[in-house]
Structure 1
Amino acid sequence: MAVHKLFKDFWVLVRGGGELASGAIRRLVWAGFPTVVLEIERPLAVRRLVSFAQAVFTGECEVEGVKGKLVRDLAEAKRYIEEVGGVPVMIDPEAKTLEELKPMVLLDGRMAKCPLDTRIGQAPIVIALGPGITAGVHADAVIETKDGPQDGRVIYEGQAIPDTGVPCESYGYREERVLRAPRAGVFRAAHEIGDKVQAGEIVGWVEDEPVRAKISGVIRGLLYSGLEVEEGTKLGDVDHRGEASDCCRTSEKADSVACGVLEAIFTLGLERGLFSDTSRPIGVQSQSQSRSRRVRWGDDRQGAPGVCGRARPREKGCGCPDRPGLHSGKTR
C-alpha cells in the first residue's frame, strides 16, 4: 500500500503489534498513513496470523494483504515503507524511536490495562486502546475495546469500561474457549493455529504440565512455542464454530477499534490544525460540522441527536445508551 501524498509527513508510531492494534495498523496503512510498529523481544500475541507482532518471530508476516517486516532501525523502516508500502516492525520496548521519528500520532496498543509510560504531549496526538488509561491524562483519546455496543467508541475524558477479567461470550462459551497456562514456565505448542481439536485434547505443555482444550473446535489463536509464561497467562483460544479460514481474518472487534482510532486521528487533527483545509480528506467533516453533530452520553434534550444519529425524544428514546454510568468516560 502506498503512502498517500496528503499524509507523507503524518507519521504514526504504534506501540504493540497484537490483534487489536494490528486491526488499526492495517486501516492506517490502507488510508495512506506511514506507520511504524514497536514491539518487545518476545511478544505474547495470541492471534498471531492477524498480528504484525508475528514478524518478530518469522521476520516477515502479512495481515489481510498488508505486509509486515522486522527491521533493524528507522532508516530501514522508512526504506521498507517507500519500497514495499508495508508495516516495519522494530524491537524497541522503551520506545526510543519516538524521539527520533517525532510522529504526529502515538498509538499505545499494548493493552496493558493499566497506565505505563504513555503520556499526553509525547506526540501531537496520543491515543490508547482499552481500560486503565485515562483520556486527558495519559492520552488525548482512549478507544473502547469492551465487546458490545460501546466497542470502538472514542473517549475524550475519563476511561474505558474497566476490565472484568472475564472473556466475552461467544455462542454461550466464555472461559471454556480460552487456553491458559496451568503454571509458570516455558510453553511448548503441540498444534498450530487453524488445527481442529477435540475437547480434552492436548494443545501444548507448560513445562511438563499439559494444556487441554475444554471444547471442540478450531484453534483460533496460540502463543509462539518456546515463550516463557506466568501462571494464568492466556495461551490461546478455541473457536467452536470450526471455521479455519476465520483464523486469518481480523475480528469485528478489531475493525471497530480501528474505526475508532481513525475517528480520533481526524477529529483531533482537524481541531488542532494538523490538517490544512486543502489537505482535508474527502468526507471528513470540518471542526464545526463535527461538533454540531455530537452529543455526550446522557444528553436528553428534546430532539437532541443520539449517538446513532437519530433524534432522541425524551419520552421515547432511540435505543442508544443514555446514561453516563454505562460508560466510564465521555465521548463528544
Structure 2
Amino acid sequence: MKILIKGAGDLATGIAYEFWLAGHQVLMTDIEIPLAVRRTVSFSRAVYEGEAQVEQAKGVLVRNLEEALRTMQAGGIAVIVDEQAKIREEYRPDILIDSIMAKRNLGTRIGDAPVVIGIGPGFTAGLDCHYVIETQRGPSLGQVIREGSAIPNTGIPGEIAGYTIERLIRASASGVIEPQVRIGDLVKKGQLVAVTGGVPVYAQMSGIVRGMLQEGVQVEKGLKIGDIDAREKKEYCVTISDKARKIGRGAMEAAFGKD
C-alpha cells in the first residue's frame, strides 16, 4: 500500500515506523525548517541532515516523486519538503495520515485518499477524515474514533514519572536558539539549558534531556524547544516512545481494520 504521512516529527515517525515494518511504502512531508523537539527519533531530521536513522528504518530526504519511489523501493522511508503535501496529486496514496499535530486541520479533506486518518485534536471523523486517532495519554491513547473528534488539547503534557508541565523547556524570548546541552545530557533543576533571543532558559526539573531543537532555529517566546525525562534512561532518547507506538498501531487498525 502507498502511505502518505503529513508531518515527520516523533509521533508521525512512530506511525511511519509501524507501516514500514508491515512492508508498506511510506512517503512523509514536512516543512522547510522542522521544529521536532525529539529530533533523534524523528524522520524530519533528514530535512537538514539528508538522512535520519530511527531504530531499524532510515528516512531519506528526496526532492521529487521519482527519488521518493527509488528510496521506498530500496527499503527506505522518503521525506520531502512539501508544506502543502502537493505531492499527493502525483503519488495518489491509498492511505493519507495527517500527523502535523497542529491541533487544528490545516487543509486535509476526506476525499484526499481512499482512507484519510487524522491524528489528535482538530479533526472530525466522517467530516474531514474517515478516522481520528486519540493522542491524549490515558486509557484511550491510540483508540480509533469512527465518529466525532479526539479529546481537545489541554495544553498540559501527559504525565511521565510524575511530571507534566515541568518536563517542557520553553523559549524565554523570541529569536535564535542556542542550546547549552545536548540530547542525552543529564541536567539539574535550575541549570542553564538554552539561550533564546539572548535570554537564558533554565530547566524546571532534573533529568535527562530527551529532546532539544537544533541550533540556529528561529523560535517564538513560549515555544516548546526541549523536553526533560525524569527516568534518566538514555535509551528513551533514541527509541520511539510508547505513545508514538500506540498511536501508530491505532492508525494501522484504522487503515486495515486490525492491530
TM-score, length-scaled by structure 1:
0.76
Q: Quick one: which of 69, 76, 90 aligns to 2:67?
A: 76
Deviations 1:179-222 (A, max 9, x none): 00112111111121111111111111101101111111110011
What residue number does 2:97 align with?
107
Q: Match for 1:144: what amino acid?
A: E
Write the mapping of 1:285-300 to structure 2, written as runs, cut at 5 A.
none
Higher relative contact order (CA 8 A, sep 6+): 2
User: Residues 209 and 227 of structure 2 are in contact (CA less than 8 Å); yes or no, is this contact kept in structure 1?
Assistant: yes
What residue number does 2:50 align with?
59
Deviations 1:52-82 (A, max 9, x none): 0111121111111101111111101111111
Rg (Cα) greater in structure:
1
Aligned residues: 259
Does 2:132 match 1:131? no
What residue number does 1:171 align with?
161
Q: Quick one: which of 69, 83, 93 aligns to 2:83?
A: 93
Structure 1, gaps ≥5 residues long:
1-9, 268-283, 286-332
Deviations 1:122-168 (A, max 9, x none): 10000010012111111110000000000000001110000000111
What residue number does 1:36 align with?
27
Write the mapping of 1:239-278 to structure 2, written as runs, cut at 5 A.
239-267=229-257
Deviations 1:239-261 (A, max 9, x none): 11211121011111111101100
Distance (Å, rounded) in 2 between the aligned partners of 1:181 and 1:138 = 33
Q: Quick one: which of 10, 14, 36 aligns to 1:45?
A: 36
Distance (Å, rounded) in 2 between the aligned partners of 1:33 and 1:82 = 10
Does 2:170 match 1:180? yes
Q: Match for 2:163: what amino acid?
A: Y
Tell me the CA shift for residue 104 of structure 1: 0.6
> Which structure dedicates a bigger proportion of its chain to strand?
2
Distance (Å, rounded) in 1 between the aligned partners of 2:232 and 2:136 = 24
Deviations 1:14-63 (A, max 9, x none): 10001111101001001011010001001110111111011112111111
Distance (Å, rounded) in 2 between the aligned partners of 1:223 and 1:260 = 28
Tell me the CA shift for residue 171 of structure 1: 2.3
State the Cα RMSD in Å. 1.1
State, as a whole percentage, how many aligned pairs show the same letter. 46
Structure 2, gaps ≥5 residues long:
none
What residue number does 2:8 align with?
17
Tell me the CA shift for residue 172 of structure 1: 2.1
Does 2:108 match 1:122? no
Structure 1 stretches of at least 4 aligned residues deviating more than 4 Å after TM superposition: none
Does 2:200 match 1:210? yes
TM-score, length-scaled by structure 2:
0.97
Does 2:211 match 1:198? no
